[in-house]
Amino acid sequence: MYKSNSKEKHIKKPNAALKNNKFKISLALLIIIALAFSVFTVNSSANERASDIFHRVNPERRMLYPGGMPFGVRFNTKGLIIVGISEVPTESGSVSPARTSGLRVGDIITFAGDDSVNTPEELTKSINRSSGKELSLKILRSGKERIVNVTPVKSSDDGNYRLGLFVRCECAGIGTVSYIIPESLDFAGLGHGVCDRDSGALIPFLSGNVTNVIIGEVIKGKCGIPGELHGHLGKMPTGTLSGNLKTGIYGKFEKLPEELFYSSPIPAAFEDEVKEGKAEILCTTASNKICKYEILIECIDFKDVRNKNFSIRITDKKLISETGGIVQGMSGSPIIQDGKLIGAVTHVLVDDPATGYGIFIENMLKEANIPQPLAS
């Protein structure tokens, strides 16, 4: 009996060990699979670009009319841009309260005391209301808010209180339309915002209109000297502006422009479809007709989330002979590759006017969905 019991135990022992080993192996496999899946998920999430998120939120490809036509921009600024500082004649001599307080050309005055100021008349009213007492001005300098205290003085010329400032509340210029949405006639142009020339800060937008443009002259770009399209802005609005953002000027046309290069909308490319190599741009020069010109996309930077996503080189001899390359006013010119609208021209390299930068059309579309803050 003892041997029999011993044998019985000896036979059952390996079966139990086998079951135990199988359990351990299964558990180990499950842990390995779970860890592998976890690592894959973390890496995928970490490597996912903004474009991938945009694809999920916007799974359907947008169809757009490429632009290429010039448009005139007239908009009122939110605040007053200081364009000059002067002396104020007083009974005790000429003084400049603005200069003494540290105000500079390029500063944007948004508040005088508790009053928002968007016109010279509003600022004049606040200055006179101070009766010569210290006035607190809220300004934007290089995009950052500051408070500057200034004391108005009474002018001996007319008896009004003054600071010694020249200001303006409007901006005007020429750009090129990048795309038009067929269903709504919403559009975008420039590929970059309208900025202060010295600081590069975005000029606050209040309201504005779009007009047509007739190109009258092309100033060719040279090494060190950027060229420019000179044109005449129409008097009648052809649409309204809704925002001045870092990726361009946005607005809405009253009706579809007649001078379209493509009679039907074409697909907008996702950024990961853009590749180095040949492409074309659409732009208007002295002929006042939209024409297509050859370019090369030389380098793509997926990390830049704004408006220098890839570098471009003008290779079309006709365009180079006419403009020298990329000139001011061509900003916003749509870029076509493989039948898709991939982006727009944004900048020119001053030392080499045949080269510049472009923005992904996807970045322009994404920012178009961001509501523009209303003026307070």
Pick the catalytic residue from 192, 242, 311, 347: 192
Beta-carbon count within 10 A of 330 CB: 32
Smallest CA-to-CA distance from 177 within 363, 372, 361 is with 361
Beta-carbon count within 10 A of 25 CB: 10
367: three-class secondary structure by DSSP:
helix
How far, in Å, are 74, 144, 191, 196, 340 from residue 62 at the CA level? Answer: 28, 36, 18, 32, 10
Q: Is 198 an active-site residue?
A: no
- Residues facing residue 310 across a β-bridge: 300, 358
Pick the catalytic residue from 126, 178, 242, 331: 331
Residues 6+ apart with CB under 8 A from 144: none
C-beta of residue 203 within 8 angstroms of C-beta of residue 173: no
Q: Identify the helix (H) or strand (E) that includes residue 66.
A: strand 63-66
Smallest CA-to-CA distance from 371 within 194, 211, 185, 245 is with 245
Q: Is 331 an active-site residue?
A: yes
Q: Is 192 an active-site residue?
A: yes
163: three-class secondary structure by DSSP:
coil
Pick the catalytic residue from 107, 126, 311, 316: 316
**Where does 48-96 have alpha helices with state H?**
50-57
Give 318-321 contacts, CB < 8 A, sequence gap 24+.
318/293, 319/283, 319/285, 319/293, 320/354
Q: Identify the helix (H) or strand (E) that includes residue 324.
A: none
Residues 6+ apart with CB under 8 A from 1: none
Residues known to be catalytic: 192, 316, 331
